[in-house]
């Protein structure tokens, strides 16, 4: 109870006894009997009746100690229940610290089972009040930054991918920031896919994934963040066609991808720090590939207490690896679009005009191309490849042009107009 509340209570008590402060005992008794029959509103205590003996004790306290005598007394054991001694309070705090997410009922049972409930035993309601006042339990508000160390059982069970901004490199005589796309295998800590590029795009990610799938097979899960490349429909469709579970971490939760983040720190400490001159993008990728083979994969990894290459080979020997053929990967990594064929059997695609078989005039068609070669365009019908589309060659079309076909078309148009 704070001092302000104690003063308000004392003031109400004074108002009740003040009319008979100077009156004789008989008048006091009659007045107190009339007040005892009524209800009075008090802060904290609420609406309640007051006994005659209580009113007399207030009058006696006021005459002896003045206004201070009317204030509620402060308990000597303020801050803890009367039945909860120091040892019991320590036991409660220790158990709450060790198990912050349990309920008060479960805590009461645990204390009872361990013989820490006190003598006489503390009541459940008292324990509930203690943990609420001292905020010893979270009551369901579980910490969101708590995470436990984990490791998958075998290789290709979980891959973790991310981008890292690297050094400046020379590209076409201009300086650009190199951005590394890397994928790490959770079990072995092997880097299964990697490449420096000038952009952080779906194309950069696709090239790394395609090489990783071809060399190491399909993973069961791919764990990435919520960046634009990782959230693209193209990556989702690729994983769907490959039978891979695509998992995104929570936004702004880089610690959840701690293994790849720790690898990026290793790159900065042991690879980038050794670079003394500006490199081209090709030279940087070649140097990084050598460093992975000679340094990272063949040195003791403190997280697994062995070399990544050794753990990978030991695990892969008794793990079923799904290795796709190159033709299958080429089919999976195709960008898909829809176009409507014009009356002259052509479609427009990224600024170019392509010829389409005449059977598809005025139809919506499915066209696809490798993500790294948008000029290599293919026509698909019901997921079956029909042909590769070619650029429109007007001169070649002129050579095969037949005048009687044009004359027939003109005649047909004139007849239609006359009708």
First and final C-alpha spacing in the chain = 102
* Alpha carbon distance 106, 87 (integer Å): 20
- What's the pTM? 0.61
* Alpha carbon distance 98, 107 (integer Å): 11
Give the model confidence (pLDDT) of 251-286 as tens digits. 777 777 889 999 999 999 999 988 888 899 999 999
Helix intervals (H) in 225-348: 233-242, 258-270, 281-291, 308-316, 326-332
Give the model confidence (pLDDT) of 60-117 as tens digits. 998 888 888 888 887 655 555 555 677 788 888 888 888 877 788 888 888 888 887 7
Among 169, 163, 272, residue whose Cα is nearest residue 209: 163
Count the alpha carbons within 13 Å of 380 in the hemisphere toward its beta carbon. Answer: 14
Picking from 41-55, 130-144, 385-399, which range would have the lowest pLDDT averaged per residue?
A: 130-144
Could you tell me which residues come within 8 angstroms of residue 372 by beta carbon, excluding any fewer than 6 positions away?
203, 206, 207
Where does residue 334 rank: exposed (0-12), middle (13-18), buried (19+ CB within 10 A)? buried
Q: What angle do CA 385, 390, 396 make, to 5 degrees?
A: 140
Six token digits for residue 111: 């204390």
Instruction: Show the domains of the chain with their CATH numbers.
Output: 3-70 (no CATH), 86-133 (1.10.10), 159-316 (3.30.420.10), 333-399 (2.40.50)
């Amino acid at each position: 109870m704070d001092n302000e509340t104690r003063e308000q209570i004392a003031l109400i008590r004074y108002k009740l006894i003040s009319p008979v402060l100077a009156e004789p005992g008989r008048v006091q008794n009659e007045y107190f009997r009339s007040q005892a029959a009524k209800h009075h509103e008090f802060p904290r205590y609420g609406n309640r009746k007051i006994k005659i003996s209580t009113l007399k004790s207030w009058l006696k306290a006021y005459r002896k100690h003045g206004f201070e005598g009317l204030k509620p007394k402060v308990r000597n054991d303020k801050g803890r229940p009367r039945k909860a001694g120091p040892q019991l309070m320590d036991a409660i705090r220790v158990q709450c610290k060790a198990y912050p997410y349990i309920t008060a009922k479960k805590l009461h049972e645990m204390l009872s089972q361990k013989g820490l409930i006190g003598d006489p035993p503390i009541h459940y309601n008292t324990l509930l009040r203690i943990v609420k006042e001292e905020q010893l339990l979270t009551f369901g508000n579980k910490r969101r930054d708590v995470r436990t160390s984990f490791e998958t059982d075998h290789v290709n069970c979980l891959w973790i991918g991310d981008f890292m901004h690297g050094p400046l490199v020379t590209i076409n005589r201009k300086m650009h920031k190199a951005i590394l796309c890397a994928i790490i295998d959770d079990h072995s800590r092997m880097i299964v896919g990697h490449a420096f590029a000038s952009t952080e795009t779906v194309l950069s990610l696709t090239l790394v994934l395609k090489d990783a799938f071809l060399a190491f097979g399909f993973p069961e899960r791919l764990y990435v963040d919520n960046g634009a490349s990782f959230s693209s429909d193209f990556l989702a469709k690729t994983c769907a066609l490959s039978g891979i579970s695509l998992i995104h971490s929570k936004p702004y939760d880089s610690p959840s991808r701690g293994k790849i983040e720790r690898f990026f720190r290793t790159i900065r400490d042991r690879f980038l720090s050794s670079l003394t001159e500006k490199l081209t993008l090709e030279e940087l990728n070649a140097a990084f590939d050598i460093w992975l083979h000679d340094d990272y994969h063949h040195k003791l990894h403190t997280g697994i207490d062995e070399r990544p290459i050794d753990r990978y080979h030991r695990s892969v020997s008794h793990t079923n690896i799904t290795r796709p053929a190159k033709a299958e990967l080429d089919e999976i990594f195709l960008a898909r679009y829809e176009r409507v064929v014009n009356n002259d059997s052509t479609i427009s695609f990224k600024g170019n005009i392509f010829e389409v078989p005449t059977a598809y005039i005025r139809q919506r068609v499915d066209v696809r191309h490798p993500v790294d070669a948008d000029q290599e365009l293919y026509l698909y019908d019901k997921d079956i490849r029909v042909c590769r589309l070619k650029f429109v060659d007007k001169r070649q079309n002129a050579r095969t042009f037949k005048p009687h076909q044009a004359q027939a078309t003109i005649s047909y148009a004139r007849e239609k107009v006359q009708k």
